[in-house]
Structure 1
Amino acid sequence: MGEPKFSRPKFDTPSHPWKAGRIEEEHAIKANHGLKNMREIWKAKSQLRRHRRQAMRLIGTVDTTEGHGKREMDDLLHSLYKKGLIESNASLDDILSLGTEEILSRRLQAQVYYKGLACSMKQARQLVTHGQICVGEQKVSIPSYPVSRDEEGDLRYHPSSPLNNPEHAIRKAIEGRRESAEYEEEEVDPVATPEFAEEVQAAGEAANAEQAEGGAE
């Protein structure tokens, strides 16, 4: 039964801790998504397993064209569509083709980066944890917050954030690189290049130094 004071873990850990292939894969995912630790990957994998388990159970059902089976299938597809994991015309087979990175891409940290509000995944995590990001009118400081399809267009900087100023060093660096003809011709995403991340980091440090000097005065 377990100790009532402590909640049970809501994710499964790897069955074997020392498989090189899995470790390399998880390290790559961690680097791509700017994650803090492997537990965040394990949580995504556990969530994905639950969705696949439901889909496989429905696929094995005798009849999902009417009655309770159809309602359960429609509810599952509608739920995953609202979460942004599948398209409106998806089927149960599409659920089985989902991967771990599709789950991780719905995190607030990833969506902030994809919307161009941050220069890298790590910076997106920093902005979220420091309270610089709002979902609608609500400030959210949890990087793992799952962003639904309806909330995608409501991501923005917090009203009190200095990043609302278009002249902010980070904002100017992002806009400048986006408008660069060189990057448009090469079809390279400017916020995904290491050089751009280094430049923006330097600009952010300069801006923080200016704010610190202003506060000291």
Structure 2
Amino acid sequence: MGDPKFLRRTYDTPKHPWEAGRMAEERKLLEKYGLKNKRELWKAQSNLRRIRGQARELQARLRAGEAQAQRETTLLLARLTRLGVLPVGNATIDDVLTLTTEDLLRRRFEWIIYHRNLAPTPRGARQWIVHGHFSIGDHRVTRPGYLVPSADEARIAYSPTSPLSDDDHTVRAALRERLNARPVAEAAPPVDGAPES
């Protein structure tokens, strides 16, 4: 196929530039998940739109009785299950159609770091990721928008070369205090390298 001549956008912008309700909802998601700008949100929405479109197309082809559609459905469900968006087990094409943008945003590296109490805020998690303080297994990951597969989630830890990997670091002590101050129902299970309560 060759190299593409021009880089193209991988997302779609909203149809109308000014809708107060949509803009307020976008602002809430930006603050909750620590996104840099609305472009990151639009990318997640476009990604979800593509996945749901593929699921609708497969549903129609399955009704027509195509054997290839069954294989493609199995691959789509396996990919989304590996990503951790769908539950392991008996996921169906209808489960794909019920996915929301937040389901994809919850798989972002920065949100998982914050949710596992490895960083004080989503924005703080983003900054620490870009500065190279976290790794998945042996690989340092510096992309906050990386969608973490569920198999790799347990291998997230502070990077061995990071000053934050020291348990006696002042920031780690502050994170432990914050974790102890949170109600029990709100606390997430600790991960390898996470502060223990």
TM-score, structure 1 normalization: 0.79
Share of identical aligned residues, percent? 40
Bigger helix share? 1
- The one-letter amino acid of 1:48's match is L
- Give the match for residue 113 of structure 1: 114
Residues 93-130 of structure 1 show CA distances to partners (whole Å, capped at 9, x for unaligned) of: 11111111111111111111122211110110011011
Q: Match for residue 77 of structure 1?
A: 77
Q: Distance in 1 between matches of 2:91 and 2:38?
A: 30
Q: Which residue of 2 aligns with 1:160?
A: 161
Q: Which amino acid aligns with 1:69?
A: A
Bigger Rg over Cα: 1
Deviation of 1:57 (Å): 1.0
Unaligned runs of 5+ in 2: 189-197
Offset, 1:177:
3.4
Aligned twin of 2:123: 122
1:154 Cα deviation from its structure 2 partner: 1.3
Q: Please tell me whether residue 171 in structure 1 is matched to residue 172 in structure 2.
A: yes
Gap runs ≥5 in structure 1: 191-217
1:142 aligns with 2:119: no
Q: CA RMSD in A?
A: 1.9
Higher relative contact order (CA 8 A, sep 6+): 2
Alignment of 1:39-54 (within 5 A): 39-54=39-54
Rate the CA distance shift 1:93–1:110 in 2: closer, same or farther, 3 A. same
* 1:61 Cα deviation from its structure 2 partner: 2.1
Shift of 1:23: 0.4
Counterpart of 1:123, as a letter, is G
- The match for 1:27 is 27
Instruction: Classify 1:155/1:188 alpha carbon distance in 2 versus 1 (closer, same or farther; 3 Å).
Output: closer
Deviation at 1:29, TM superposition (A): 0.2
Separation in 1, partners of 2:94, 2:126: 33
Query: Which has the larger displacement, 168-177 or 55-64?
Result: 55-64
Question: Separation in 1 of the partners of 2:66 and 2:52?
Answer: 21
2:156 and 2:83 map into 1 onto residues whose CA distance is: 15
